[in-house]
Structure 1
Amino acid sequence: MIRLRLETRIAATPAECFALSLSVDAHTSSMSDSRERAVGGVTSGEMRAGQTVTWRAVHFGIPWRMTSLISAYDAPHRFVDEQVAGPFARWHHEHRFEPDGDGTRMLDLVEFAAPFGPLGRIAERIALRRYLTRLLERRNDWLRETLEARR
């Protein structure tokens, strides 16, 4: 299993960061490079506790589907999305939003595991860690730029 920790500083309130991070529409816009779109569950608007969304995307040239559940929700401080169906053996993504001066420190704490036992562990270390880190960094840059442009 791989653990990732990303920290992003955003000049916006925790409530603004929290809401945009739970927006299906914002997610779709921020992930346009992978043609990510919601095809089941909540397909637009802001997600809430207990809701699911099924995403369809293309990564590594391969179409994927993943259904995520908002399994924890403490507005505007924290939420967790977890895979309930999809390509990973495990996907757990905790999002935290902490006041930081006149803005927010956004933390992404991700635990994931690839399927296929030893082959999956090799893929985690060779490709998935770097790929997912860059994907999350691009998403966080999009969130920051969008929120800061509103000010």
Structure 2
Amino acid sequence: MHSLKRKQILKTDLAGAWRFFSDPTNLATITPASMNFRITSPPHEGEMYAGQIIRYKVTVAPTITVQWITEITHVRKPYFFVDEQRRGPYAFWHHQHLFREIDGGIEMTDEVNYEVPFGPLGRLVNRLFVGPKLEGIFEHRNKVLSGIYPV
């Protein structure tokens, strides 16, 4: 099992952070353009809820596009939500999005636990490709969000 944890301070309030991060259409804004991220689920009106299924297509490597299906498994507005992969490129994916009010804004924490398929080969692929790619994706998110919510 591999883990990635990122914290970022955003100059907004809990309601603003929740509005942005609980809307899956904003994922394309914070995902690198090279990943060609697209939501393929029908548009959802209303609040995020536990049990919500979201379908995406994402380019994971040049010429390799995969379908990714996640389920929102836990929601406690405006403090956290969890998405888990139901189908996609990982053997296991559990992503917690946590929001905590602090002086001058909110502290957002992303905590991802994941596993790459294919056993020992997957561990090598993670070390050489998947891990660095995820680090890059979250670094990109950090930069984009710093522009949207400057501290």
Q: TM-score, normalised by structure 1?
A: 0.89
Residues 48 and 75, structure 2, Cα contact 8 Å, conserved in 1: no
Give the distance between the partners of 2:131 and 2:45, measured in 1 at CA.
29
Residue number in structure 2 paired with 1:16? 16
Give the deviation of 1:87 after TM superposition.
1.2
User: In the alignment, residue 23 of structure 2 is paired with which amino acid?
Assistant: S
Stretches of 4+ aligned residues off by more than 3 angstroms: 41-47
Give the deviation of 1:44 after TM superposition.
7.4
User: In the alignment, residue 139 of structure 2 is paired with which amino acid?
Assistant: E
**Partner secondary structure for residue 121 of structure 1:** helix
Number of residue pairs the alignment of both structures matches: 149
- Give the fraction of aligned pairs with identical amino acids, expressed as a percent: 29
* RMSD of aligned residue pairs (Cα, Å): 2.0
Aligned residue among 106, 109, 117 for 2:108: 106
For residues 88 and 127 of structure 1, do their structure 2 counterparts lie closer, same or farther at Cα, with a shift above 3 Å needed? Answer: same
Residue number in structure 1 paired with 2:27? 27
Give the deviation of 1:48 after TM superposition.
2.7
| Greater CA drift, 52-61 or 134-143 | 134-143
For residues 137 and 14 of structure 1, do their structure 2 counterparts lie closer, same or farther at Cα, with a shift above 3 Å needed? Answer: farther
Give the distance between the partners of 2:136 and 2:45, measured in 1 at CA.
25
Residues 17 and 147, structure 1, Cα contact 8 Å, conserved in 2: no
- Unaligned runs of 5+ residues in structure 1 are none
For residues 127 and 113 of structure 1, do their structure 2 counterparts lie closer, same or farther at Cα, with a shift above 3 Å needed? Answer: same
For residues 75 and 85 of structure 1, do their structure 2 counterparts lie closer, same or farther at Cα, with a shift above 3 Å needed? Answer: same
